[in-house]
Amino acid sequence: MKFDTPATTNPIDQLKIIGHPTDRIDGPLKTTGSAPYAYERHDVVANQAYGVILGSAIAKGRIAAMDLAAAKAAPGVLAIVTAANAGPIAKAKSHTAKMLAGPDIQHYDQAIAIVVAETFEQARDGAKLIRVDYERAKGRFDLDAEMKAAPPKGDEESGSKPIERIGDFDGAFHAAPVKLDATYSTPAHSHAMMEPHATIAAWEGDTLTLWTSNQMIAWAVRDVSQTLMIPKEKIRIVSPYIGGGFGSKLWIRSDAIMAALAAKAAGRPVKVALARPQIANNTTHRPATIQRIRLGAAKDGKLTAIGHESWSGNLPQGGPETATAQTKLLYAGANRLTATRLAVLDLPEGNAMRAPGEASGLMALEIAMDEMAEKLGMDPIAFRIANDTQEDPNKPGRTFSYRNLIGCLQTGAEKFGWDKRQAKPASVRDGRWLVGMGVAAAFRNNMLTKSAARVRLSAKGIVTVETDMTDIGTGTYTIIAQTAAETMGIPLDHVVVSLGDSRFPVSAGSGGQWGANNSTAGVYAACMKLRETVAVKLGFNSADAVFSDGKVGTGNRHVSLASAAKDGEIVAEDAIEYGSLDKTYQQSTFGGHFVEVGVDAYTGQIRIRRMLAVCSAGRILNPKSARSQVIGAMTMGAGAALMEELAVDTRFGFFVNHDLAGYEVPVHGDIPHQEVIFLDETDPISSPMKAKGVGELGICGVAAAVANAIYNATGVRVRDYPITLDKHLEKLPAVA
């Protein structure tokens, strides 16, 4: 199905099932512990051995020698794989570092060996017996030290240039009567998902099957093919349930590649799970940033100059954190400068984490907007509204498909009680607590990508959907079932959904908040093709046939849907393919985040008291699971504001706090009350679903809203995240 004109009325608009808060159909499997996750697939292949990966103890240098003798002689050990005996192995184009290192080392904890044994304990003990002699080389581990020499670097995937100028930024900034020039920093973050990277690998002849935890099935097939240099046709990836990914599982990691190599060496299936400490250093992380923001405005609050420059670091051939992405589109202003610069760092690979670019960029931009509003003597919401725009600031005349940032801010202000906020910082007390409110805008682009599905109609009237789309805890099973049920006119319990298998048609996959809109649009396309086949078989004009209550009909004639398949299953397959609407219109999602905090006047302890998110993201397919997504994102944003930081040992080049004891994430007690409001809207330019995405929008701007609330409560402005006691305690107002 080609989608190249705005959607008109279609079966989804019936809203009999779509748009209703629906319990997740996979919920019973999750709550009973019977959902099959990768490492627990005892049912798929017999005689599984265990693999444990040994990571490099240095961050940069070479392996001089490896002594495997003691490990080979250890009880239960079946095989050991290193670069010396693994056979030909390459680096996939999407990987920055090799999945198996040797003799050269690119980063700390990079996989250098895997030990296979009968039990996990035997494999773990065997790995500890490997003796490695290293030749350590000098590395670069400190972004602050390397930023001055960092060259401009654009983002090849999005096509953004290293430096982009519109108008005369320098002249406009110099002439502006009101200016802000401030620098902000964000640290490296770990995904810290509940399920670690895990894989079971099995070979049958020259065919490889991986039961793995992965967000993008087709990407996984491609990357395994490139790494192991075997045809895609010889690879099967299965990933029906994923316990969180947040971007770390967009690409195959060392657990999958090492499991495949180990299974071949051992001659039997091998299962591998990365230990929690390996996730921070062996896989990927959100890169740290240093961001300089310059704003110039007229006295009436209109921005005349917007400048945003960002520095981040990565391994050679890696990409930058695109922290300036939202600044190109969020606010009006004729004179603009954005720039990204990339330092070479010998730290583990930096890559996508929930809302890559915008999450980090809005942590800085939305504090800067608050600081500028204060300089102007304007309310922060009024300042943002004054600089709203309905067209792409970089491409005048190119309008947004649908933009309601003002509605988000105004609705949030009313519901949150913004009128009770005191503009003067440190002026509200509740006992020993200093109380403040903060706001920030949220922004995330809506991305479109081809997505396919196959649907089957049985003689019992059951519709089965097959697509390689994944469910990373987001509720994909349910919204796909809702889409099929709505389109085919059947109850939700008459739909069976099968996901996460490379044998199925290639979908959008889960990531970038593009999954829900694109994958359901692909299912819709397949169902519409099935409707055509059914209508013709039952003697109806497909354009006039109505599918409702398990029947197909026109006028006074109605026939059961099931009867169409009485002679055999009917199968249809199709994909949603987009035209040029996304080039004609700028498609984005918007939101407003509101936060109230309390800061202990004596100890400086920060407590979030309440949070509100208002989202403008097209049609909400399932408000119940969408709310959960936003609440989870808000919680991650709070963590970024107050506690999350991968601490770098700049002497030896690794993340020190590589477990959940040292890398702190929010818990229930940190987030006492959250509310989410979805604006009632559709975007017919996006897809037949008229939906967008919301899973990443929910984190964008949250940290800045927390930071702005802390400033309002205390009068202390902190520009370096996370906002911890050492950064504001000594500056708190004197206690009377």
| Domain residue limits, the chain | 2-35+448-584
Residues 284-329 have pLDDT tens digits of 999 999 999 999 999 999 999 999 999 999 999 999 999 999 999 9
Residues 220-243 have pLDDT tens digits of 999 999 999 999 999 999 999 999
Q: Is there a cis peptide before residue 722, judged by omega within 30 degrees of 0?
A: yes
Look up tokens 């972004």; give the residue: 143
Residues 6-19 have pLDDT tens digits of 999 999 999 999 99
Q: Are 595 and 467 in contact (CB under 8 A)?
A: no
Res. 155: pLDDT tops 90:
no
Token reading at 304: 């005349």
Kindly list the distances between the CA atom of residue 173 and the CA atoms of 110, 290, 395, in Å, as whole numbers in the listed order. Answer: 45, 21, 21
Look up tokens 């030990």; give the residue: 115
Kindly list the distances between the CA atom of residue 723 and the CA atoms of 294, 313, 439, 631, 711, in Å, as whole numbers in the listed order. Answer: 22, 22, 16, 21, 11
Token reading at 491: 């109850």
Give me the mean pLDDT over the 377-394 stretch.
Answer: 97
On average, the pLDDT of the chain sits at 97
Look up tokens 């670091």; give the residue: 313
613 membership: H or E segment, kind and range = strand 606-616
Give me the mean pLDDT over the 241-268 stretch.
Answer: 98
- Banded model confidence at residue 582, pLDDT cuts 50, 70, 90: confident
Res. 176: pLDDT tops 90:
yes
Instruction: Quote the pLDDT of residue 158.
Output: 78
Q: Are 365 and 326 in contact (CB under 8 A)?
A: yes
Q: Are 254 and 289 in contact (CB under 8 A)?
A: no
Structural fold of domain 2-35+448-584: Aldehyde Oxidoreductase; domain 4 (3.30.365)
Give me the mean pLDDT over the 566-586 stretch.
Answer: 96
| Interacting residues of 384 by C-beta distance below 8 A, sequence separation 6+ | 331, 369, 373, 405, 409, 439, 441
328-349 exposure pattern, b = at least 16 Cβ within 10 A, e = fewer = bbbbbbbbbbbbbbbbbbbbbb
Q: Are 621 and 734 in contact (CB under 8 A)?
A: no
DSSP at 720: B
Res. 736: pLDDT tops 70:
no
Q: Are 227 and 99 in contact (CB under 8 A)?
A: yes
HSE-CB at 24 with a 13 A cutoff on CA atoms is 20
- Banded model confidence at residue 160, pLDDT cuts 50, 70, 90: confident
Instruction: Quote the pLDDT of residue 294.
Output: 98
Residues 486-541 have pLDDT tens digits of 999 999 999 999 999 999 999 999 999 999 999 999 999 999 999 999 999 999 99
Sheet strand arrangement including 178-186: 163-166, 335-344, 303-314, 289-297, 178-186
Token reading at 462: 């059951």
How many angstroms separate the CA atoms of 60 and 631, rounded? 40
How many angstroms separate the CA atoms of 496 and 490, rounded? 12
Residues 113-128 have pLDDT tens digits of 999 999 999 999 999 9
Give me the mean pLDDT over the 567-573 stretch.
Answer: 97
Instruction: Quote the pLDDT of residue 156.
Output: 79
| Interacting residues of 76 by C-beta distance below 8 A, sequence separation 6+ | 117, 118, 119, 122, 123, 126
Q: Are 317 and 662 in contact (CB under 8 A)?
A: no
CA angle 80, 81, 83 (to 5 degrees): 145
Catalytic residues: 696
DSSP at 16: S
Q: Is there a cis peptide before residue 103, judged by omega within 30 degrees of 0?
A: yes
Which residue stretches of 52-179 are H helix?
69-73, 120-128, 143-146, 169-175
Sheet strand arrangement including 131-136: 104-105, 61-67, 131-136
User: Could you give the 3-state DSSP secondary structure of residue 69?
Assistant: helix
- Banded model confidence at residue 22, pLDDT cuts 50, 70, 90: very high
Please report, rounded to a whole number, the percentage of residues in the chain having pLDDT higher than 70: 100
Instruction: Quote the pLDDT of residue 477.
Output: 98
Q: Are 644 and 638 in contact (CB under 8 A)?
A: no
